[in-house]
Amino acid sequence: MLCIRGVVLPEREERSFWIDGEVLRAGAPPGGFAGRDAEVAVDGGWLLPGLVDVHTHPGATDPGTSFDEDLLRAQLGEHRDAGVLAVRAPGTAARMPAWVDSDPELPRVTSAGRWLATPGRFPGFGRDVAEDGLVRAALEEAAASSGWCKVIGDWRADEPALPLTLLTEVVGAVHAAGGKVAVHCQTAEGTRNAVLAGADSLEHGMHLDPALLDRMAAQGTAFVPTLGVFGAKADAMRAREPGVRRDLWLAGWDTMFGNVRAAHEAGVTVLAGTDSFPCGTVAGEASWLMRAGLSAEAALGAASWTARAWLGLPGLGDGAPADLVAYATDPIADPAVLGHPGRIILRGRVVR
């Protein structure tokens, strides 16, 4: 049987475990670590629950391409090989196939069905639906996925966002059914509407009004800023000729570091999501969160234990899933090692 011992983060406690099928058991295994059946998979170092990417879209290379199950498997494998053992896919071009939940070699997937877009927003990339059918569509996607649905709350920077009254109705109906709602928002109006409607997560949240942060914290609305994907575009956007869309985009980007830091300080759950390819790069998003002003511990939590708790997944303890990554050095003291774990264990099996 596989045995593990090391310093568990974030608690910073030395602990020992053994693996019983796909589950962790606390303490020494029957017969001890030197027993005939014991195989020590990790002996010392630093232990984290598996890393998490809460905004990734495996199965396609961009929203305009067809959903491909072979690509889905390959991209989930990229996540796993980087130590990302749980992902949330907030909207895709197609619903996740049933085999995703049962494949022992792939990360645990929380899906949100197809993107839901009303006319003029995100055309042709997900499920296009008229405004009077949005509530029903949101309930259908939440029921067909992991309980989440994803609504495109706005699209073009200079065009109106989804009406607040409609988004509020969507969120209320999905919550009443036991589900959750993620909202894509990049404009001031779209972000404001998502918060006032009571969305469970803001995806991107450009132009977020800091006056809304206390409300977000109180109602449990998480902030997934996907800083890396925006940061990678910033220089190219600055090089463009001035225009309404370019100028609004840059105005939003220029406030994001301050808003992310202020959100964390206000008690909002800030999470790491990449929204980019290749997959398996959530450690880079944690670095962007640190650049925005989060401590190394908070940024690593956003890509591990905090994100897992938010998704309803436990950390490292007796009876928890045997999903973990191990490092020779403390990744809080040296965040550069986060994307390079020395040992990866998923569902009780050694991946690397």
Separation between Cα atoms, residue 270 and residue 224, nearest integer Å? 6
Cα 101 → chain centroid: 17
How would you label 119-153 residue by residue, b for 16+ Cβ within 10 Å and e otherwise?
Answer: eebbeebbbbbeeeebbebbbbbbeebbbbbbbbb
Question: How far apart are alpha carbons 302 and 147 in whole angstroms?
Answer: 21
Same structural domain, 270 and 240:
yes
Domain shared by 343 and 281, yes or no: no
13 shares its domain with 73: no
Same domain, 155 and 296: yes
CA dist 207 and 195 (Å) reads 12
Residues 18 and 80 in one domain: no
CATH number at residue 273: 3.20.20.140
**178 and 258 fall within a common domain:** yes
Cβ atoms within 10 A of the Cβ of 38, count?
17
* pLDDT, tens only, 137-154: 999 999 999 999 999 999
pLDDT-based confidence at residue 32 (cuts at 50, 70, 90): confident
Asked whether 315 and 305 are in contact (CB, 8 A), the reply is yes
Q: Cα separation of 39 and 178, whole Å?
A: 42
Q: Is residue 24 located within the same domain as residue 137?
A: no
Measured distance CA(323)–CA(153) in Å, rounded:
34
Tell whether 284 and 207 lie within a shared domain.
yes
Domain hosting residue 210, numbered range: 51-310
Q: Return d(Cα 295, Cα 200) in angstroms, integer.
A: 24
pTM beyond 0.95: the answer is yes
CA distances 309 to 90, 241, 306, Å, are 17, 44, 5
| Cis-peptide, bond into residue 278, ω within 30° of zero | yes
Residues 32 and 117 in one domain: no
pLDDT digits (tens, 9 = 90+) for 169-222: 999 999 999 999 999 999 999 999 999 999 999 999 999 999 999 999 999 999
What's the gap between Cα 87 and its chain centre? Answer: 6
Are 145 and 111 in contact, with CB atoms under 8 Å apart? Answer: yes
Q: Are 73 and 107 in contact (CB under 8 A)?
A: no
Distance (Å, rounded) from C-alpha 205 to C-alpha 184?
8
φ/ψ of residue 92, rounded to 5: -145, 175
pLDDT of residue 120: 86
- Could you tell me where the DSSP H helices lie in 210-243? 213-219, 227-239
CATH of the domain at 34: 2.30.40.10
Beta-strand ranges (E) seen in the chain are 2-8, 13-20, 23-26, 39-49, 51-53, 84-89, 108-111, 115-117, 127-128, 148-152, 180-185, 201-204, 222-224, 324-327, 343-346, 349-350
237-277 tens-digit pLDDT: 999 999 999 999 999 999 999 999 999 999 999 999 999 99
Share of the chain above pLDDT 70, in %: 100
Instruction: List, in sequence order, every residue forming a beta bridge with 108; answer none if it has no partner.
Output: 86
Examine the pLDDT at 5 and tell me if it is beyond 90. Answer: yes
| Whether residues 115 and 218 fall in one domain | yes
pLDDT band at 29 (very low <50, low <70, confident <90, very high): confident
Same domain for 45 and 152: no
Total domains in the chain come to 2
| Omega cis (within 30) before 58 | no
**Cβ contacts of residue 185 below 8 Å, gap of 6+?**
153, 154, 161, 191, 193, 194, 202, 203, 204, 205, 206
Q: Answer yes or no: is pLDDT of 231 > 80.
A: yes
In this structure, the answer to whether residues 56 and 45 fall within a common structural domain is: no
